[in-house]
């Protein structure tokens, strides 16, 4: 009987513990209340005195590839810029400066030939000499069709690069030999362009031009290893860090490159950390919990928790907000009536209250705007620059709809407006944005729209096939020049112009700007194009400039101070040699 | 019995072929491909990528190539990072299997205990508490449980870890090296507890409900009344006559639950940033990583087939009335 009682007590105890665990789990409260965010406001983490040594663990998202000549995602490029550098690098103001090069390129009088002289004594991390042939191979590798680099297009203006890349039969020695890049001597190489390109020095800061260690990969078709445990030892590096460990899906560990010199950095910096760990975490909410627990020293803020996290960490100086060169807006398929009618497009744009949408769907985290080009981009405009033409104004919106002949509160006898579909990606903020617009159109214009929610690849495929009416989308800058925001996006037949913007005025100005070597004139042209895009709603009605939101421990130095938004994945990751600890 | 087992194993071959074929064609029928991006690729870049992964060939040729490689044990490459799918699965499996097996043990022990207690104390407080747990555990999604557990026990109390799995890691999974699994010093238990509870609670609740119903049914049988009338001790009645006879329905659910747990959980692996195979599979679907989708689907099909086979064999062990010819 005693045994029976003990056995029952044991069972009861386990049952009670299980029930308690369930109840404890119900006791939590994920409070998202907090302070109000102020667009444009920033806080800088307190920077103490830097110490030599120490470790940092940074939450980030893992990229796919780890060959810069194949890469296209910001997450990949973030890590690659820690491991390699091009001949040139952007400084904190996005101006190209010599990195591995000894000076800015010598450009021929016709603007077609760039001669680049490297610094002497450059070494790969494994001790081998870093030579001009390595930089030549970097370009040949990117132009090679077998490598299938996703950003090859930035090298399109190099003579022969497109011809080889588009060769259906794959690698061709003769086509490769015809590419306009050659080694002059061990420290000098030369690039020949098809057209003068004012932005080409900036292109030479980009990852498709990073050098290839020819002593490890002697042919342009040689594949770099896939990111995995064997990756770190199989490569040589010329960036501020070397990879020491790579566990896919979990983390990468970096250490300072012994052959890096501060003079290669635009900020004259060399790593002071002993160890830098990139912890791969896809879910920002998880990264934020790890930050709160102290398991990582840096994390991006999950936008749906922005207000709560901001109110918690802004007072301690751990919250940082950086405006990023990204604009989102409502893209409209101009080949689908009634969106071919400018008045209809203006009605839709003016019905939308961007300020309120930012508060409702973005936790006040972004910057409402009426300009496609952000102010930080040359030729860009202030967020309210076009408020008079496309800003929120329900009365004007209804006037435009009336002018287009459609029924609304001010024009009850007009014709019925067709039901348009908003094609949206399956994310909380995207769905919120779609619902917001649907409600705004209903409230201000009295028109109905449908929302179609799909996953990312489906949405991209539908966009490419031009199978959409309304499409909340946008653009993130690849390099800091207005041409990157306009060419291919708004010129007739442009590769990314799936909203079918076709405006002779825009086309003429793009043609005049693209290879214009007069910088003032070029920027003025892009500024005018920006105005045309916006006021004619030529494919997109801008509504927000995007900001990044970071959590950085107070003892971290060099991150917040050197973040300018171009980096975007981790604060200041394009100049990660400045990262360190103050304790 | 041996013949039955061999027949069942042979049957898995056409089953796996059917799974591979259906998955292959469904995958290609879904809109969007592995290289559809927010920022569209230039046509030449897209053409080169498609050539690189044989996507430029007709679908039937791709299918033929896939089956040929599969027959040689080659699951192909991930379209995203170019790694061998086999390597990715084995790495993820090493973690997922540890998590799944421990969660299975937790679910089984807690579930059966609660179910038996509830049945023995039918319509009394312990029964109500157990039913309450079972209801909560079934109704509450594991991402809610996981998030609450992290906030309470990791962030607020600081007792347990947030990121990763605390088991010993293998670069390349090898069943022969599982000895590490039994070395306590190789484990970080602060990173084990929460993922196991988050993953196993739903299963524990389900097992508790099935166990309770099954034990109640057996307790009402004549032979139990007879055992009690013969004056057997209650624990003998319960352990020897009740639980054993109540096990058949429980075993029926344990097989699928085991397969469910050891093949990973997208949610739990995501919430705890655990590098397991469940998360990779769902990610592969979102990214249209055809190589990974095919590899993981086949792997999951094989695990489910194996789990069902084991359950069928256990039926015969537990209930001698069941015979296979």
Domains and CATH numbers, chain A: 14-66+226-322+547-581 (3.40.190.10), 74-209 (3.90.76.10), 328-472+479-542 (3.10.105.10)
pTM value?
Answer: 0.84
The partner residue sitting opposite A11, judged by closest CB among B113, B137, B144, is B113
Smallest CA–CA distance, residue B279 to chain A, in Å, is 10
> Phi and psi of B127, rounded to 5°?
-65, -45
Q: Does A149 touch chain B (CB under 8 A)?
A: yes
A542, A372 Cβ separation under 8 angstroms: yes
**pLDDT per position as a tens digit, A345-394:** 999 999 999 999 999 899 999 999 999 999 989 999 999 999 999 999 99
Which of A452, A444, A491 has the alpha carbon at shortest distance from A469? A452
Q: CB A14 to CB B110 under 8 A?
A: yes
A21 close contact with B: CB closer than 8 A: yes
pLDDT of residue A84: 97
User: Could you give the CA distance from residue A324 to residue A326 in angstroms, rounded to a whole number?
Assistant: 6
Where residue A9 falls (left for φ over 0; alpha for ψ -120 to 50; beta otherwise) is alpha
Residue B177 lies in a domain: yes
Q: Which residue of B has its CA nearest to A496?
A: B40
Q: Residue A27 pLDDT more than 70? A: no
Question: Is B305 a domain residue?
Answer: no
Q: What is the pLDDT of residue A144?
A: 94
Count of domains observed in chain B:
1
Q: In angstroms, what separates the C-alpha of A63 from chain B's closest C-alpha?
A: 8
The pLDDT value given to residue A30: 31
Cβ pair A209, A201 in contact under 8 A = no
Give the CA radius of gyration of chain A. Answer: 27
Using a CB-CB cut-off of 8 Å, the residues of chain B touching A64 are 80-81
Count CB atoms within 10 A of the CB of residue B73.
Answer: 7
- Report chain A's mean pLDDT, rounded to a whole number: 88
Q: Which residue of chain B comes nearest to A475, CA vs CA?
A: B39
Look at B275 and A250 and tell me if their CB atoms are within 8 Å.
yes
A428 vs B: CB within 8 A = no
The answer to whether the CB atoms of B40 and A463 lie below 8 A apart is yes
Note whether B163 contacts A295, CB cutoff 8 Å. yes
The mean pLDDT value for A211-232 works out to 94
Task: Give the mean model confidence (pLDDT) for residues A543-560.
Answer: 92
The average pLDDT across A485-513 equals 92
Smallest CA–CA distance from B107 into chain A, residue: A18
Q: Which helix (H) or strand (E) holds A292?
A: helix A284-293
Written as tens digits, the pLDDT of chain B (325 aa) is 777 778 878 888 888 899 989 999 988 888 888 887 767 777 887 888 888 888 888 999 999 998 898 888 888 888 888 888 888 888 888 888 889 999 999 999 999 999 999 999 989 999 999 889 888 888 888 888 999 999 999 999 999 989 988 877 654 445 555 566 666 777 788 899 999 999 999 999 999 999 999 999 998 889 888 988 988 888 888 888 888 888 888 888 888 888 888 877 788 998 899 988 888 888 888 888 888 888 888 888 888 888 788 877 777 776 666 655 4
* Residue A16 reports pLDDT greater than 70: no
> In Å, what is the CA distance from A312 to each residue of A295, A296, A318, A319, A553?
18, 17, 9, 9, 13
Contact A19 B132 (CB under 8 A): yes
Question: Residue A529 above 90 pLDDT?
Answer: yes
pLDDT given at position B177: 58
Asked whether residue B155 is domain-assigned, the answer is: yes
pLDDT bin (cut points 50, 70, 90) of residue A145 is: very high
Contact B38 A456 (CB under 8 A): yes
Q: What is the pLDDT of residue A544?
A: 92
Question: Which has the minimum average pLDDT: A11-25, A455-469, B198-212, B238-252?
Answer: A11-25
Chain A, nearest residue to B156 by Cα: A293
Please give the interface size between A and B, counted as residue pairs whose CB atoms are below 8 Å apart.
203
Q: Which residues contact B129 (CB under 8 A, 6 or more apart)?
A: A15, A16, A19
Residue B117's Cβ-side half-sphere holds a number of Cα atoms within 13 Å equal to: 30
- Residue B172: how many CB atoms within 10 A of its CB? 11
Q: What is the per-residue pLDDT across A158-213, written as a single tens digit (0 to 9) for each?
A: 999 999 999 988 899 999 999 999 999 999 999 999 999 989 999 999 999 999 99
Q: Contacts of residue A65 in chain B, CB cutoff 8 Å? A: 81-82
Interface test with B, best of A73, A148, A155, A494 (most B CBs within 10 A): A148
B271/A283 touch (CB, cutoff 8 Å), yes or no: yes
Contacts of A284 in chain B (CB under 8 A): none
Based on DSSP, count helices (H) and strands (E) in chain A, helices before strands: 18, 19
Contact assignment for B113 to A14 by CB distance below 8 Å? yes
Would you say the ipTM is above 0.90? no
Q: Hey, which residues 40-99 in chain A have their CB within 8 Å of chain B? A: 64-66, 72
Contact across the interface for A229 and B171, Cβ inside 8 Å: yes
Percent of chain A with pLDDT over 70: 91
Closest Cα of chain A to B222: distance in Å? 22
**Residue B5 domain-assigned (yes or no):** no
Cis amide bond preceding A338, omega within 30: yes
C-beta atoms of A25 and B149 within 8 A: yes
Residue B163 in any domain: the answer is yes
Spell out which residues of chain B touch residue A456, defining contact as CB-CB under 8 Å: 32, 36, 38, 286-287
Q: What is the CATH number of the domain that holds B102?
A: 1.10.3720.10
Please name the residue ranges forming H helices in A124-272.
Answer: 132-143, 161-165, 173-177, 200-203, 231-234
CA distance A250 to chain B (A): 6
**CA within 13 Å, CB half, B185:** 0
Contact state of A24 with B152 under an 8 Å Cβ cutoff: yes
Domain membership flag for residue B249: yes
Contact A457 B287 (CB under 8 A): yes
- The yes-or-no verdict on residue A513 having pLDDT over 70 is yes
Least Cα separation, residue A236 to chain B (angstroms): 19
Check CB contact under 8 Å for B273 and A286: yes
Higher pLDDT, A7 or A55: A55
Our CA-based measurement puts residue A362 at a distance from the nearest CA of chain B, in whole angstroms, of 20
**CB-nearest partner of B117 from A4, A15, A168:** A15
Residues B173, B56: Cα–Cα separation, whole Å: 34
Check residue B262 and give its pLDDT.
83
Sequence-distant (≥ 6) Cβ neighbours of residue A445 within 8 angstroms:
A347, A348, A351, A397, A398, A401, A408, A417
Identify all chain B residues contacting A476, using CB atoms and an 8 Å cutoff: 39
Q: What is the pLDDT of residue B320?
A: 66
Q: Is residue B234 part of a domain?
A: yes
The answer to whether residues A60 and A570 touch, using CB atoms and an 8 Å cutoff, is yes
Cβ neighbours of B68 (radius 10 Å) = 10
- Rounded distance, CA A300 to CA A24, Å? 29
C-alpha A510/C-alpha A219 separation (Å) is: 38
Residue A29 banded pLDDT, cuts 50, 70, 90: very low
Domain range for residue B196? 89-287
Cβ within 8 Å, pair B152-A25: yes
- The pair phi, psi for residue B99, each rounded to 5°, is -60, -45
CB contact under 8 Å between A168 and B47, yes or no, is: yes
Six token digits for residue B64: 């033929």
Q: pLDDT (tens digit, 9 = 90+) per residue, A96-116?
A: 999 999 999 999 999 999 999
Of the candidate ranges A167-171, A402-406, A527-531, the one whose mean pLDDT is the lowest: A167-171
| Stronger pLDDT, A43 or A566, i.e. the higher one | A566
pLDDT of residue B142: 85
- Residue range A296-313: mean pLDDT, rounded: 94
Is B215 inside any structural domain? yes
* Residue bearing the bigger pLDDT, A194 or A409: A194
Of residues A293 and A14, the one with the higher pLDDT is A293
Confidence of residue A34 (pLDDT cuts 50, 70, 90): very low
Report CB contact under 8 Å: B38, A250: no
């Amino acid at each position: 009987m005693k045994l029976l009682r003990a056995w029952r007590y044991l069972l009861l105890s386990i049952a009670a513990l299980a029930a308690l665990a369930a109840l404890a789990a119900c006791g939590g409260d994920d409070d998202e209340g907090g302070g109000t965010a102020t667009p444009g406001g920033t806080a800088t983490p307190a920077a103490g005195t830097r110490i030599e040594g120490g470790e940092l663990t940074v939450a980030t998202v893992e990229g796919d590839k780890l060959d810069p000549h194949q890469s296209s995602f910001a997450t990949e490029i973030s890590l690659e810029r820690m491991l390699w550098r091009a001949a040139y690098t952007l400084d904190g103001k996005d101006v190209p400066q010599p990195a591995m090069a000894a000076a800015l390129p010598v450009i021929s009088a016709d603007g077609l030939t760039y001669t680049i002289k490297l610094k002497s004594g450059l070494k790969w991390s494994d001790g081998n000499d870093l030579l001009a042939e390595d930089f030549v191979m970097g370009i040949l590798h990117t132009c090679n069709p077998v490598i299938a680099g996703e950003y090859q297009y930035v090298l399109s203006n190099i003579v022969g690069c497109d011809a080889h890349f588009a060769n259906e039969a794959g690698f061709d020695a003769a086509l490769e030999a015809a590419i306009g890049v050659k080694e002059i001597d061990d420290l000098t190489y030369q690039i020949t362009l098809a057209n003068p390109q004012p932005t080409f020095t900036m292109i030479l800061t980009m990852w498709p031009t990073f050098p290839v260690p020819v002593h490890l990969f002697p042919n342009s078709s040689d594949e770099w290893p896939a990111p995995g445990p064997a990756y770190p030892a199989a490569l040589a590096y010329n960036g501020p860090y070397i990879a020491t460990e790579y566990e896919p899906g979990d983390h990468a560990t970096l250490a300072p490159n012994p052959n890096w010199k501060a003079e290669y950095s635009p900020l004259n910096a060399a790593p002071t950390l002993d160890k830098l760990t990139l912890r791969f975490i896809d879910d920002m909410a998880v990264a934020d919990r790890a930050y709160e627990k102290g398991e990582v020293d840096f994390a991006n803020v999950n936008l749906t928790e922005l207000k709560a996290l901001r109110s918690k960490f802004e007072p301690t100086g751990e919250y940082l907000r950086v405006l990023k060169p990204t604009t989102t807006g409502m893209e409209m398929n101009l080949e689908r009536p009634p969106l071919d009618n400018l008045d209809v497009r203006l009605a839709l744009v003016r019905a939308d209250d961007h300020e309120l949408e930012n508060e409702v769907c973005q936790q006040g985290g972004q910057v409402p705007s009426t300009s496609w080009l952000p102010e930080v981009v040359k030729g860009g405009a202030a967020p309210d620059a076009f408020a008079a033409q496309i800003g929120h104004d329900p009365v004007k919106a209804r006037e435009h709809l009336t002018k287009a002949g459609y029924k609304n509160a001010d024009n009850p006898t007009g014709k019925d407006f067709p039901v348009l579909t908003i094609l949206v990606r399956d994310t909380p903020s995207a769905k919120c944005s779609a619902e917001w617009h649907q409600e705004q159109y209903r409230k201000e214009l009295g028109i109905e729209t449908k929302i179609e929610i799909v996953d990312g690849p489906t949405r991209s495929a539908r966009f490419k096939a031009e199978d959409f009416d309304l499409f909340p989308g946008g653009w993130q800058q690849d390099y800091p020049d207005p041409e990157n925001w306009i060419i291919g996006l708004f010129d007739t037949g442009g590769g990314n112009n799936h909203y079918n913007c076709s405006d002779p005025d825009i086309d003429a100005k793009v043609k005049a700007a693209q290879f214009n070597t007069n910088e003032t004139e070029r920027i003025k042209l892009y500024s005018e194009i920006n105005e045309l895009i916006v006021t004619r709603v030529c494919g997109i009605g801008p509504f927000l400039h995007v900001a990044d939101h970071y959590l950085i421990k107070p003892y971290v130095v060099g991150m917040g101070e050197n973040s300018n938004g171009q980096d975007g994945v981790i604060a200041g990751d394009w100049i990660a040699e400045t990262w360190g600890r103050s304790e | 019995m041996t013949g039955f087992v061999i027949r069942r194993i042979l049957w898995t071959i056409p089953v796996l072929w059917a799974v591979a074929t259906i998955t292959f064609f469904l995958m290609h029928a879904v809109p969007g491909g592995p290289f559809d991006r927010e920022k569209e690729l230039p046509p030449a870049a897209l053409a080169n990528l498609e050539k690189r992964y044989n996507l430029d060939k007709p679908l039937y040729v791709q299918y033929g190539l896939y089956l040929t490689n599969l027959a040689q044990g080659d699951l192909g490459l991930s379209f995203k990072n170019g790694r061998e799918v086999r390597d990715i699965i084995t790495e993820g499996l090493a973690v997922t299997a540890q998590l799944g097996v421990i969660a299975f043990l937790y679910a089984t022990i807690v579930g059966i205990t609660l179910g038996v207690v509830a049945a023995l104390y039918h319509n009394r407080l312990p029964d109500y508490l157990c039913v309450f747990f079972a209801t909560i555990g079934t109704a509450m999604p594991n991402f809610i449980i996981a998030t609450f557990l992290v906030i309470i026990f990791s962030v607020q109390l600081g007792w347990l870890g947030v990121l990763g799995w605390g088991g010993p890691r293998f670069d390349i999974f090898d069943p022969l090296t599982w000895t590490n699994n039994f070395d306590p010093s190789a484990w970080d238990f602060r990173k084990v507890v929460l993922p196991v509870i988050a993953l196993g609670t739903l299963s524990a609740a389900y097992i508790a409900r099935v166990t309770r119903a099954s034990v109640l049914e057996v307790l009402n049988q004549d032979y139990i009344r007879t055992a009690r009338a013969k004056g057997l001790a209650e624990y003998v009645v319960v352990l020897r006559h009740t639980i054993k006879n109540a096990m058949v329905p429980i075993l029926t659910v344990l097989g699928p639950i085991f397969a469910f747990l050891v093949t990973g959980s997208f949610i739990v692996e995501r919430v705890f940033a655990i590098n397991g195979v469940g998360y990779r599979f769902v990610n592969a679907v979102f990214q249209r990583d055809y190589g990974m989708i095919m590899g993981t689907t086949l792997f999951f099909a094989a695990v489910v087939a194996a789990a069902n086979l084991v359950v069928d064999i256990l039926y015969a062990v537990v209930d001698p009335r069941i015979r296979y010819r």
